[in-house]
Amino acid sequence: MDRIVIRGKQPLSGTIPVSGAKNSALKLMAASLLTEGELLLENMPRLADTRFMAHLLAHLGVKAEEQSGNRLSLTAANLTGTTAPYDLVRKMRATFNVLGPLLAREGKAKVSLPGGCAIGARPVDLHLKAMEALGAKITLEEGYVLADAPAGGLKGGHIVFPFVSVGATEHAMLAAVLAKGTSKLENCAREPEIEDLANCLNAMGAKVSGAGTGTITIEGVPVLNATVWPVVADRIETGTYAMAAAAAGGDVTLTGMVPAHNQALWADLREAGVMVEEGDTSVRIVRDGPLKAVDMQTAPYPGFPTDLQAQFMALMCLAEGASVIRETIFENRFMHAPELTRLGARIDVRGNEAVVRGPAPLKGAPVMATDLRASVSLVIAGLAAEGETIVSRVYHLDRGFERLEEKLSACGADIRREKEEA
């Protein structure tokens, strides 16, 4: 098993290219099940999660080929089955989203319920209710979802989500594009990844309108076609490296991204005393003075992303004053707080609120990653800490960050990966 070793107090300077978005790439990969033609995804991140999804798709008969230039070719001309077994679904919730495309194209699917999640309960009830609204018959049997479309296939339906859910919105879209008639989805998530999926589906011949707003309308089509699609830049990776630069100090430019996708973060960073200079497809982050404490609350897009909460907490450990961080999306998402305190952070967690008092004189220590976003918050803290920080269980990091050590090292960070001692 690998670990990351960081020697802190090295200012960052240089350029970091932003990779394609993991959260978009996984759903775009599931969309390959909807067509017999080739779906060629460009700007594909090379991650543990995308490899795992490719493994599941291959089990279903999809031909997946990595190509040079971060491209992935997916061809589902000859599906060999409609069952996604537990062993291939339990490790990652996004794999559950193959159910909708299989149901839409093949008329049936058998998909294992996803496993538990370290950051709290994330039920799939909304996903299943969306499928039922399109006419599917859903039964649960021995930990599996058995879904059957009515004779003649799925039919357009009216879906009102009781609360905003990115995964359920995307899943409903993936099923409705091949349903007969018109589907109307209300109280939809508005994330950029939703728009990316809709635009890709439209390039394949779908008729999706309203993505990025609260109401999405889909006119079903009989078939979808081959297309080439570039995965949107990862706004979570963008925000992560922006906060790494702010924590370590220095001058870093992030390239190949969409500044508009992180407006909530930019506002908070500016309030904290960080210079944020937006370009068309780049953003420059400069921090050469003290940080100021800023209160923050996570919220659905365009609010502050829950996937950047841990990173922001690490940054606030260095700020002058007390900042209150409220997590409104997931429970149990402060598991990084005890590990940050091992580095010297002063954090008081009460329910869904954490009070961070700084500036804390962080000092390197061995710490353990608990989930994907928590793991990178420890890297950020390590960049600012005095001495050596060792982050173990970095397989969490590999799920969502491509070439992290290489990108940070290129900007002057003293960071390396090594095998953990037996």
The residue from 117, 200, 317, 411 that is catalytic is 117
Tell me how far apart the alpha carbons of residues 346 and 147 are, in angstroms, rounded to a whole number.
49
Q: Any catalytic annotation for residue 117?
A: yes
Known binding-site positions for phosphoenolpyruvate = 22-23
Three-state SS string over the chain comes to CEEEEEECCCCEEEEEECCECHHHHHHHHHHHHHCCCEEEEECCCCCHHHHHHHHHHHHCCCEEEEECCCEEEEECCCCCCCEECHHHCCCCHHHHHHHHHHHHHHCEEEEECCCCCCCCCCCCHHHHHHHHHCCCEEEEECCEEEEECCCCCCECCEEECCCCCHHHHHHHHHHHCCCECEEEEECCCCCHHHHHHHHHHHHCCCEEECECECEEEEECCCCCCCEEEECCECHHHHHHHHHHHHHHCEEEEEECCCHHHHHHHHHHHHHCCCEEEECCCEEEEEECCCCECCCEEECCCCCECHHHHHHHHHHHCCCEEEEEEECCCCCCCCCHHHHHHHCCCEEEEECCEEEEEECCCCECCEEECCCHHHHHHHHHHHHHCECEEEEECCHHHHCCCCCHHHHHHCCCCEEEEEECCC
Residue 329: phi, psi to the nearest 5? -100, -55
- The annotated binding site for UDP-N-acetyl-alpha-D-glucosamine is made up of 93, 122-126, 307, 329
* Cβ–Cβ < 8 Å for 109, 99: yes
Q: Residue ranges for the binding site?
A: 22-23, 93, 122-126, 307, 329
As annotated, the active-site residues are 117
